[in-house]
Chains A and B, each alone.
Chain A
Amino acid sequence: GENVEQHPSTLSVQEGDSAVIKCTYSDSASNYFPWYKQELGKGPQLIIDIRSNVGEKKDQRIAVTLNKTAKHFSLHITETQPEDSAVYFCAADNNAGNMLTFGGGTRLMVKP
């Protein structure tokens, strides 16, 4: 089955700096790669996703890049703000597309 690894497990940045979270996956048949943000005491919420026919996608301060050959994808957050502090999860779908496998999560702390 699919295996998704995520790094780093914790990341501390100064407000205004950029943050990068990286994930690798094992199943070359995966086609859909979402990123979720989880705030304390809440369920994860989708913040951006990318499909395998696209190399990069951007939404305001958030961008995701995908390298299918190397089987890795990354989340980039620019101009970080304290409200970006949360746990972020990457995921990849299985070859049937009906399930997601999640990475272990990254706790991002943005210091004012």
Chain B
Amino acid sequence: DAGITQSPRHKVTETGTPVTLRCHQTENHRYMYWYRQDPGHGLRLIHYSYGVKDTDKGEVSDGYSVSRSKTEDFLLTLESATSSQTSVYFCAISEWTGTGGRNEQFFGPGTRLTVL
């Protein structure tokens, strides 16, 4: 298995509180991604990073921010959590080599977040 860990694995929080989820990799892959998984919606991209301090928005980025200060760590922050952000969050990594390459992504074990 690819060396990806996510912390915490489970979290219950209250509406309006800040929450930070951490993704840590030991593969030295350049690309890192945050997805949320909700029934019927598959996996939807929140934000991704293509290098240290290089990030970009995905399909459902509103209410989320990210940071990547080291190759191995990618943080997802919910500045003020809402009940609509209750979901399972997955981090993924990829060593995509550029146009024409296979963007094979490896997923972490996920974090289940409940916002009450």
Tell me the A residues contacting B by CB distance below 8 Å: 1, 4, 6, 9, 31-32, 34, 36, 41-46, 49, 51, 89, 93, 96-105
Contacts and interface: CB of A to CB of B under 8 A. Distances in A.
A103 B41 CA distance: 7
A99 B43 contact: no
Interface residues of B, number: 30
B90 A43 contact: yes
Contacts, number: 67
Nearest to B90: A43
Interface of B: 4, 31, 33, 35, 40-45, 48, 50, 58-59, 90, 92, 96, 98-110
B100 A98 contact: no
A34 B43 CA distance: 13
7 contacts: A34-B103, A44-B90, A45-B107, A97-B101, A102-B35, A103-B42, A105-B42
A102 B105 CA distance: 12
Contacts of A51: 102
Contacts of A4: 42
A97 B107 CA distance: 18
B102 A102 contact: no
